[in-house]
């Protein structure tokens, strides 16, 4: 989602984070439902495909992925 200079509302960092979280959740749910209804293995997505769907950069997706993996690793080591 690209903001244009004519947009009257600039997305705050909190709004952006919430939007990205909701879009990622939506992508996971839609993919899971598709997989279950088609009795197929869920497809894999590249960071670029995820970034396009969410409306953010590949680098943002990489950072989110790294943060999630770090949190998971911390939880598993407890």
Assign 7 to helix, strand or coil.
coil
The Cβ of residue 1 has, within 10 Å, a number of other Cβ atoms equal to: 10
Q: What is the pLDDT along the chain (78 residues), one digit of tens a residue?
A: 455 545 567 889 999 999 999 999 999 999 999 999 999 999 999 999 999 999 999 999 999 999 999 999 999 999
Structure tokens at 37: 């209804």
User: Residue 68's pLDDT is what?
Assistant: 94
All residues at 6 or more sequence positions from 24 whose CB lies less than 8 Å from its CB, including other chains: 50, 54, 64
Residue 35 lies in a domain: yes
Q: Is residue 7 part of a domain?
A: no
**Residue 26: predicted pLDDT:** 95
The answer as to whether 46 is a domain residue is: yes
Look up the domain containing 42 and give its range.
Answer: 15-76
Counted domains in the chain:
1
């Amino acid at each position: 989602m690209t903001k244009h200079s004519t947009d009257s509302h600039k997305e705050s960092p909190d709004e952006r984070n919430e939007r990205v979280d909701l879009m990622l959740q939506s992508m996971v749910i839609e993919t899971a439902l598709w997989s279950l209804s088609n009795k197929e293995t869920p497809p894999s997505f590249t960071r670029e495909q995820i970034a396009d769907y969410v409306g953010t950069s590949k680098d943002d997706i990489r950072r989110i992925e790294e943060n999630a993996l770090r949190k998971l690793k911390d939880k598993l080591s407890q």
